[in-house]
Amino acid sequence: MTMTDTKEKLVFIYAMDGGALNKITYFFKQGISPSKIECPLYGLTHSASGMKPEVLDFMKRFGVPYEILYQDEFVRKYEGFEIFGKFKMADAGFPAVYIIVGDERDERGIYELVRPKYFQKCESLSCFGKVLKRKYAQFHELGPDEFQAQNNKAAPEIEADEESEKKQKIEKAHEKIMEMEKRMEED
Q: Using one digit for the tens of pLDDT, what is the confidence trace for 25-83?
A: 766 666 666 565 678 888 888 877 778 899 999 999 999 999 999 888 988 888 776 54
* Percentage of the residues of the chain whose pLDDT score is greater than 90: 21
pLDDT of 117: 84
Buried b / exposed e along 175-184 (16+ C-beta atoms within 10 A): eeeeeeeeee
pLDDT of 161: 57
pLDDT of 2: 44
pTM: 0.70
- Alpha-carbon span 131 to 125, nearest angstrom: 10
pLDDT of 64: 94
- Residue 30 amino acid letter: Q
**Average pLDDT across the chain, whole number:** 78
